[in-house]
Structure 1
């Protein structure tokens, strides 16, 4: 009886060992297959990455070539379009030196000279001494702050757009209300208002009232801003009835700037407020 039980136990043990061997063998085989599949996947990914890198290098070269070509074409497109003109850039917010250089270079390639003017908010009217100095330019008495500000903006427009002794401009510079830099001279032949994110400045304080006065002289007026702006100021300038360029930091925007200063009217750029990208077909 013991021998029979031992025999049965031995047979069961053999089958269990066999089953365990089959299981372990399957796992080992499966692991081998998985490892092969993993290696194949890694090789495939490496090949894809290499192909993408090659494509990126090719696209970068094409982009560099295109930028170089466009850079060479720009002077030909705008050549002499603003010959012997004086263009004044006006800002009431901070403008980066890079953007100033881009704007100046754009009109200079077209044959113009540029002058950058920054007008700070006329909050200095709160200073009695400065207010008195500014009020002395006008014979009227008892001007309110709003009336004095209106008179100042009107006189600024006159001195920028017509031959004059620039007395007020010199006083504003002395009072550190106005900054003026560049190789251009006055009177100007065209004006460019540099807009910015509406969270950083309000064009209704200086820009729009000054535009209203400058429009009386019949000179080209353009408002510009860079392409990447969270809260565009362009619609406000459009409501003032002047041309706009909403991507002046791009090559197409620089071309549009030159042509709007030539007298082409329109709203150009890439934002929803633009009518078209470029003043295509304009011969001015």
Structure 2
């Protein structure tokens, strides 16, 4: 919301400037008949521009105070709420560089730990996965859609509770990983699919994603999909369709607070975009 207000104020100033320049330039070609009109417009536009600048200054001051308030209150509301709990980020496709930092910042006062990060390779490497599983009942991944869904479901579950399957396919499942999975108390999901995938690749990748989300949610640990308020494409509909809580403004303190309470069990879509149910969850939900 803060960024929208700043953008609105700046846009208003730009409109006044452009309008003033356009009228003044046009008036130069209108002769003496337009002199009085130009003078009146000059005075009017200067006054409007000054008002717009003053309003922008007031908005920035209000927003700066709100930011300072949020920075001070956030640690009080979240201190040791997640003490001793283990969390991991599972990114589908790509992991934007700022997301990990935002999650770590959100967890800092809670006592919770980010213990693992995994970026799922997309498009899915079906051939590589099939080779890894050649001696198992999932060896027919290339031709059997049900096997791909079953694989995704098994992987999603074992990434949370532990198991050997993720290690068997790690090289072809992930483009990169760090830390460890298993024995998790919550999963933070990020989705950033490559745009250049062909339709058959996208269909198989979506199927694997759906299986992963199904496996995670079946464990009943909290799972929340996150994105930033500035993301051009929102994945909230994907999170909603897979029964995940969602936060669309994890780059803001309000979004970080919503993420923490989603990890405590709050359900819903939170944030500042049109797909959000509300800005924040009930702060009493799951607080124990």
Give me the TM-score of the superposition, normalised by structure 2.
0.70
Q: 1:70 to 1:200 in 2, by over 3 A?
A: farther
Q: Deviations over 1:182-224 (max 9, x none)?
A: 5x76321101211347967867333321121122322112222
Q: 1:198 to 1:254 in 2, by over 3 A?
A: farther
Q: Deviations over 1:151-210 (max 9, x none)?
A: 53344234322244xx4434444447342235x763211012113479678673333211
2:106 aligned with 1:106: yes
2:174 aligned with 1:177: yes
Q: 1:185 to 1:155 in 2, by over 3 A?
A: closer
Q: Which residue of 2 aligns with 1:116?
A: 117
Moved more, 54-63 or 146-155: 146-155
Shift of 1:254: 1.6
Q: Which residue of 1 aligns with 2:245?
A: 243
**Contact 2:130 2:139 survives alignment (8 Å):** no
Q: Deviations over 1:49-96 (max 9, x none)?
A: 344334433332222222122122222221111111111111112221
- Root-mean-square deviation over aligned CA pairs: 3.3
Q: 1:185 to 1:237 in 2, by over 3 A?
A: closer
Q: Which residue of 2 aligns with 1:22?
A: none
Q: What are the within-5 Å matches in structure 2 for residues 17-36 of structure 1?
A: none
Look at both structures and tell me which one has the larger radius of gyration over its CA atoms.
1
Q: 1:43 to 1:271 in 2, by over 3 A?
A: closer
Q: 1:249 to 1:89 in 2, by over 3 A?
A: same
**Contact 1:199 1:231 survives alignment (8 Å):** no
Shift of 1:47: 4.4
Shift of 1:101: 1.1
Matched pairs, number: 247
Instruction: Show structure 1 runs of 5+ residues with no match.
Output: 1-29
**Contact 2:121 2:172 survives alignment (8 Å):** no
2:188 aligned with 1:192: yes
**Contact 2:91 2:192 survives alignment (8 Å):** no
In structure 1, what is the Cα distance between the partners aligned to 2:236 and 2:192?
A: 9
Q: Which residue of 2 aligns with 1:212?
A: 214
Q: For residue 227 of structure 1, give the secondary structure of its aligned residue in structure 2.
A: coil
Q: Which residue of 2 aligns with 1:96?
A: 96
